[in-house]
Amino acid sequence: MMKSEKKDYTERTRAMQPDCMCTSDACARFSGNVCGRDDLEHKYDFTVIGTAATVTVLKVSEMPQQGKSTAVTGGGLQSWENGGMGLNICAGLARLGMQVYPVLTYVDSRQKEYLHQLADANSWPAEGIMDPPPDSAGTTIMIQDRRKNHMTLITEYDRRMPDSRYFMVQKMEDSFFTNSKMVILTVPMAMNTRPALEAVRRHKIPLCFSMRRDPVALPENVLREIVEEAEIIFANEDETAYIREVLGVKEIGDIFGSGKLRHYVETLGGRGSRIYTRQEAGKIAVTSVEAISPSAREAETIGAGDGYVSGFMYGYINGMDIETCAGYGSSTSSFVIEKEGSITNLPTQEQMMERYLERDNRKET
């Protein structure tokens, strides 16, 4: 960037960030009107509930078919990256300067040292990171075809079932929630979904839900309750179709029902996103936002959705309008997909904002 452009970027960035959260309409949700505490008592922006995982990506030309051998043309079972929805969002938010309280479980004991070092580096409380037994193993295998479609295989899943005795239920301590402004719930281990939802209700904290189609961790009755409780929902097109099926509704606007839902964010991959917002008198407004393209020619889409959630929620907690939040989400996501690994290329706040403003500048010319 040239010097004059840098100055313009700095001024615009400063203007887009409120000096005090209390002056913003969006941030009024986090004042004493919500939980009975002064906003200054909230040490953390988000409590993030979910899992960390080791992730292995196997690249194929076509998705496997019954009775037909499939050649793996990239990746292998000996290599893996750190990932998982919960970890991805924690790392993305922290990189953007947010204060995060992670409430994470994981099954692969190889991650223990990395996760606790990451917590130390980001000043995260370690109390919410539940370590597995020392001999625990299990890897998420992502099969990716040449069109970047994915199939997910989760190994050792029998140990994660609700009736399994191998992993204990994670106790949702009050300290996980009392100092946070908002909770982001991803998809925890199956035995922890209900306790997490009950903790959110008990502490009366606004809930953001990042969807994944997992009928074991999210049985239909629990999914319905989460949709009723959530203030914001993130889901891609396939996940949206599944939510509509579970709820028995035809249109996304019908998902709002009588619950607390204010914004439903449908991510559309390279086509951007659509945000459905409940307005006065029950009307639903739709905002469409184009995707911000990555600088890399060949995009790696694993982790893109979690990057979007991180950027969007950064804007949301800072009181930005919905279109700006979606732009922040798209900007963050565009960095994630430039390199393999869902947390290997997360942007700083400045990097995310610079790319977002570059898109705005192109739109104006």
Please give the domain boundaries of the chain with CATH numbers for all domains. Answer: 31-364 (3.40.1190.20)
Q: Is the pLDDT of residue 32 over 70?
A: no
Supply the pLDDT for residue 127.
97
pLDDT band (50, 70, 90) for residue 359: confident
- pLDDT recorded at residue 10: 44
Lowest average pLDDT, out of 18-22, 230-234, 288-292, goes to: 18-22
Angstrom CA distances, 62 to 59, 65, 304, stand at: 9, 9, 21
Helices (H), 143-266: 193-203, 220-229, 237-247
Average pLDDT, integer, range 47-65: 94
Residue 355: CB atoms within 10 Å? 22
Task: Give the closest residue to 58 by CA, choosing from 76, 70, 71, 80.
Answer: 76
What confidence score (pLDDT) does residue 300 get? Answer: 76
| Of 101, 96, 92, 105, the residue nearest 123 (C-alpha) | 101
Report strand pairing: 53-60 vs 81-83. antiparallel
- The residue-averaged pLDDT of 24-50 equals 62
Split at pLDDT 50, 70, 90, the class of 364 is low
Question: What's the predicted TM-score (pTM) here?
Answer: 0.87
The per-residue pLDDT for range 295-340, each reduced to its tens digit, is 876 667 788 999 999 999 999 999 999 999 999 999 999 999 998 8
Give the pair of three-digit tokens for residue 272: 């951007």
Predicted pLDDT of residue 31: 40
At residue 183, does pLDDT exceed 60? yes
26-30, 104-108, 260-264 — which is least confidently predicted?
26-30
Higher pLDDT, 298 or 255: 255
pLDDT of residue 362: 63
Tell me how far CA of residue 189 lies from CA of 49, 51, 53, 164, 344, in angstroms: 10, 7, 11, 11, 24
Is it the case that residue 27 has pLDDT exceeding 70?
Answer: no
Quick one: pLDDT band at residue 165, thresholds 50, 70, 90? confident
Tell me which of 351 and 29 has the higher pLDDT. Answer: 351
What's 110-177 look like in SS3? HHHHHHHHHHHHCCCCCCCEECCCCCCCCCEEEEECCCCCEEEEECCHHHHCCCCCCCCCCCCCHHHC
3-state secondary structure of 105: strand
| 7-16, 91-100, 287-296, 306-315: segment of lowest average pLDDT | 7-16
Q: What is the mean pLDDT of the chain?
A: 88
